[in-house]
Amino acid sequence: MAYAFLAPWIIGLVVFYLGPVVTSAVLSFTDYNIISPAEFTGFDNYEKMITDGEFVQALKVTLYYTVFFLLMYVVLSLFVAMLANRPGRGSGLFRLIVFLPSLIPLFAAAVLWGWIFNTDFGLINYLLEEIGLPRQGFFQSPQQALPLVGMLTFWSIGSAFLVYLSGLQSIPIHLYEAITVDGASAVRRFWHVTLPMLSPVILFNLIIGIVLSFQVFDIAWVLTDGGPANRTLFWVLLIFRRAFQDFEMGYASALSWVLFIVVAGVTGLIFRTSRWWVHYEGRSR
């Protein structure tokens, strides 16, 4: 009977998750361009990957971006949520304003940022010039493009912010009262109550953040096209190009399989370490 309820998911699990993982593992050992049948080539694709300068670049770019993104999505959003959590006039509106940019589709945000930071007639360069500073290359500058893309993720912290907010609201007030009576400062309250009580939520945002950051695609596809000088060549953009523009399905499968392994490895590692720093209130785990 239970299987009737689970039937759609079991089919989906096999056909759209487990099957594809196995298939792409098999495909990654072949040379396959859809038109002619797949040809077994052993570890060629993996050897190619190591020597493929673009892959190494994509790996670097994606890891660099991940650090930026996690800083925004996991760390900064916590402080924004703590600001919003204090009851007071305007905090409802504040929550709304913080969440609002997350609703804008990434492709549209990418175009908007492209205009605001346009080298020739963008708003920011206009303002810089007004106050007597030199114009910047921004998305056209190999040095600035990726850090800029990373910083702009601040506008997409909405969902992490909401998760933190609900986490903060479920911390019992008596814990704060107890520690305040003892004369603890705000910093100590943060370290001894907020952080431990929130640690399961931080773990959740960290895991989701990692999965999200390895999948960044829209902004590179719409705005930078991986450039300048491949400085925003994200992993997923590389997979997309190899698979759906060059039809190198075998090589692209190897790329996506390694992506899966890396994400699984990193999140697995975090879960492993989580028992040292995640505090579960009165529950064994």
Partner 1 sequence: MTASRTTPRPVPTGNLAQRLQQRRKAVWYLSMLFIALVMILPVYYMVYLAFSELGKEFVFPPGFIPDPIKFENVIRAPEGTATPLWGFAKNSILYAGLGTLGALVAESMAGFALARMRFPGRNVIFALTVGMLIMPFVATIIPKFLLFSKIGLVDTYWALILPWWFGGSPYGIFLMRQFFLTIPREFDEAARIDGAGPWRTMWLVLMPQAVPVLVALGMLHFAYFWNDLLGPLVFCQTRVCKTLPQGILSNYQSTWDPQWALFMMSTVLMVLPVAVVFILAQRRFKQGFLFSGLGGR
Minimum gap (Å) between residue 51 Cβ and partner 1: 22
Q: Per DSSP, what are the bridge partners of residue 39?
A: 31
Minimum gap (Å) between residue 152 Cβ and partner 1: 9
* Residue 34 in the binding site for partner 1 (CB under 8 A): yes
Minimum gap (Å) between residue 158 Cβ and partner 1: 9
Q: How far apart (Å, rounded) are the C-alpha atoms in residues 155 and 99?
A: 9
Minimum gap (Å) between residue 100 Cβ and partner 1: 6
Q: What is the DSSP letter of 86?
A: S
Site string for partner 1, 148-187 (x = CB under 8 A): ------xx------xx-xxx-xx----------xxx----
Candidate residues 63, 71, 75, 104; the one interacting with partner 1 per rule CB under 8 A: 104
* Residue 136 in the binding site for partner 1 (CB under 8 A): no
User: Half-sphere exposure of 204 toward its Cβ, with a 13 Å CA cutoff?
Assistant: 15
* Residue 132 in the binding site for partner 1 (CB under 8 A): no
* Residue 98 in the binding site for partner 1 (CB under 8 A): yes
Q: 185 φ, ψ to 5°?
A: -80, 170
CB 32 within 8 A of CB 26: no
> How many residues lie near partner 1 (CB under 8 A)?
98
* Residue 193 in the binding site for partner 1 (CB under 8 A): no
Minimum gap (Å) between residue 234 Cβ and partner 1: 10
Structure tokens at 29: 């050992």
Lookup result for tokens 């959003």 = 77
DSSP H or E run through 261:
helix 249-277
Candidate residues 56, 67, 123, 133; the one interacting with partner 1 per rule CB under 8 A: 123
Minimum gap (Å) between residue 151 Cβ and partner 1: 11
Angle at Cα 163 formed by Cα 158 and Cα 167, nearest 5°?
A: 145
Q: What is the DSSP letter of 40?
A: E
Residues 204-223 that bind partner 1 (CB under 8 A): 204, 207, 210-211, 214-215, 217-218, 221-222
117-126 in b/e form (b: 16+ CB < 10 A) is bbeeebebbe
